[in-house]
Structure 1
Amino acid sequence: MSGFGVRDPRTRVAVIGGGASCEHDVSLASAASVADALDPATYDVVRLTIDPHGTWLDPGGRPVGLTGALCLLRRCDVVLPVVHGPHGEDGTLAALSDLAGLPCVGSGVRAGALAMDKWATKLVAEAVGVATAPGVLLTPADRAAYAWTHPVVVKPVSAGSSHGVSLVDAAGGLDAALDAAFALDDRVLVEDVVVGREVDVAVLGRPDGSRVVAPTLEVVTDGVFGLAEKYDGSAVFRIPAPLEDTGTKALEDAAVRVYDALGCAGVARVDFFLTADGPVLNEVNTMPGFTGQSQVPRMFAAAGLAYPDLLDLLVRDALTGR
């Protein structure tokens, strides 16, 4: 709305970045990239940030609190939350948008909460016939009862970007790994090491119920694809992943099955290990990294859908699905 009362014909989009989690800086990069890529001829972007302490900041970087943020949100047509991890990707921002009566890009409360919880995701996947790594759930009360007997991966139940994740290949490394994971969550998942190729599948759900699957992406690393490898440029991405047609079909089918079982919307990245026995689910990201060089935008670009066009599609679908 201009100062003369003439309505701006553009769609006003609230792009939210940051967040009070260990993924704050990654989210800032994703949100900035998204806001810059939205076509200014079509979209009026309102940039909102949540600082590491949970304080909302207006487009000028001034603290406005939740009440002030809601006032700004209510002036927008649609919300595009680009907050990775807890207090964002876990459904909390989708819930806030829902309560404010605003359409929101991406998964809703239920899917965000389920997918963020790696233990719950395992249970859902197994229930629809998608394999996961054998594992156990630990809390501070029962961690002392767990005895290391073979190599395992230790990870917080609800954290992303491989924060707090450790490969434990000797008993002496268990306590430090558990300490690192429990520093981020009060529940920790201990899983058997899965030997297989790391392949990601991006699924896009459309308002008409159809599913679009982007070309698969294989992550090629010298060892574990951990926090450092995700952001230091050492990982190599192969798009599409060099697979037999049967392997690709099995991955795509498993990804869509999990996407639908969790109730995802918009785009989600479903990560697998492709083993000799078939796909084994690793995790589901309902708000994956979203810079132009992140995995999901690169996967859709390989299918001919450029980054700005992918964002335009997601925003239009959120408005249509409303």
Structure 2
Amino acid sequence: MKKKIGLLYGGKSAEHEVSLSTALAVTKAIDFSVYEVYPIYITQDGEWRKGQRLEESAKTIEQLQLTAGSGKSNDISSFLPAQPSDALDVIIPLLHGPNGEDGTVQGLLEVMNIPYVGNGVLASSAGMDKVVMKQLFQQAGLEQTPYVYFIRRDWDKNQGFWLNKIEAELVWPVFVKPANLGSSVGISKADNREELIAAVKEALKFDRKIVIEQGVVAREIEVGVLGNDEPECSVAGEIKPLKAFYDYQAKYKDGNTAMIIPAELDEAVYAKLQADAKKAFKILDCSGLVRADFFVTATNEILINEVNTLPGFTPFSMFPLLWEHTGLPYPELIERLITLAIERHEEKQLLQVKID
């Protein structure tokens, strides 16, 4: 029998459009002879819409939005099967950013006891919050760039203090980021105090917590990680933006970026990247998939930048390309992720929930 797969996409997030692009790419790659695919679309206003089974790959993003219908529902019971034979075997969350990639939806699926692809509640939430992530990396002994962070209230109360602290502890240029967002949304580069103030104002549009990172002259190297308790690494890839940095426009709009796969690296550097990627995977208690992003300096110093617990699957995305060059084509990658999700779910069912 075909496995019933629920594609969960859209979401109440600034990365809504990215999610739709990812969902479109997945429908074009998934094997409809093996899987029954059901769309579950969340509008940008947070309305859930469950559509009828897809008979073939979606042609456009608009089709994905319309396929799920127009009826609104936030009642969880409407997404539960009327009878066991209607139950979804696995849900593939394709939600980027807050309200999807941050552990919220993962928690809902855990409560509903539905297998789902990717990271669990803890890994998703820790991976979304760049400050918590950095603190865990520090605990694991992973080298990273210096940083300063604060919340909106602290900035509003004493902007001068934070400006002085940043200038004292970091060196220009710095990068200003919302702590809880991905896809380079809200990120700005600042070369002086005036630009820093403007960058913080921009980042605060998207989050109450801001992280300021030390700029570094280095190559941007990414590694894909796949697995549960015994993760494996892909070949490494190098990002070469043709702009100041790898922003949202370069990632998803104009493709104004060169991707070199595999990256040209010394064997020792490559081995250290793999080891650090696995260490980051494990310290966050990840499962399924992760893209680990690093800086490699001219002296081969390796600094971990961040991990992405739900890397995109768009035509411009690095993660599937890394695995394709490792010998795992996109359709097989999706199958592997589904298998990993089922394995993890089955292991959880072995846990005792009653006290003798």
- TM-score scaled by structure 1? 0.93
Q: Structure 1: 5+ residue runs without aligned partners?
A: 1-8
Task: Provide the rounded CA distance (Å) in 1 between the counterparts of 2:125 and 2:35.
Answer: 29
Instruction: Please tell me whether residue 265 in structure 1 is matched to residue 273 in structure 2.
Output: no
Return the offset for 1:139: 1.4
1:288 is aligned to 311
- How much has 1:277 moved relative to structure 2? 5.5
CA distance in 1, matches of 2:205, 2:261: 35
Residue number in structure 2 paired with 1:125: 137
Equivalent-residue separation in structure 1 for 2:137 and 2:87 (angstroms): 39
State how far apart, in whole Å, the 2-side matches of 1:213 and 1:196 are: 22
Aligned length: 312
1:86 is paired with a residue of what secondary structure? Answer: coil
Cα deviations by residue, 1:164-207 (Å, 9 ceiling, x for unpaired): 1010001111221111111100000011112210000110014x
Q: Is the 8 A contact 1:35 1:47 kept in 2?
A: no
Q: Which residue pairs with 1:66 in the alignment?
A: 74
List per-residue Cα deviations over 1:128-180 (Å, max 9, x = no partner).
11112111111122221211533211000000111110100011112211111
Question: Residue 96 of structure 1: CA displacement?
Answer: 1.0
1:78 pairs, out of 61, 83, 90, with 90
TM-score (norm 2): 0.84
1:163-174 matched pairs, under 5 angstroms? 163-174=185-196
- Residue equivalent to 1:314: 337
RMSD between aligned residues = 1.6
Matched, 1:14 2:37: no
Name which of 115, 129, 142 aligns with 2:154.
142
Instruction: Give structure 1 regions of 4+ aligned residues with deviation exceeding 3 angstroms.
Output: none
**Counterpart in 1 of 2:121?**
109
- Which residue type is aligned with residue 4 of structure 2? R
Q: CA deviation at 1:292?
A: 4.7
* Deviation string, structure 1 residues 220-258 (Cα, Å, up to 9, x no partner): 123311122212111000111111101111111111000
Residue in structure 1 matched with residue 275 of structure 2 by the alignment? 253
Aligned to 1:36: 28
**Which of residues 93, 100, 111 in structure 1 aligns to 2:112?**
100
Aligned equivalents of 2:111, 2:153: Cα separation in 1: 36
Q: Give the % identical residues.
A: 34
Name the aligned partner's letter for residue 166 of structure 1: S
One-letter code aligned to 2:251: K
Distance across 2 between alignment mates of 1:11 and 1:293: 28
> What secondary structure does 1:269 align onto?
strand
Query: 2:178 and 2:330 mapped to 1: Cα distance?
Result: 31
**Cα distance, 1:99 vs. partner?**
0.7
Aligned to 2:57: none
Determine the structure 2 residue equivalent to 1:3: none
SS of 1:131's partner is coil
Residue aligning to 2:54: none
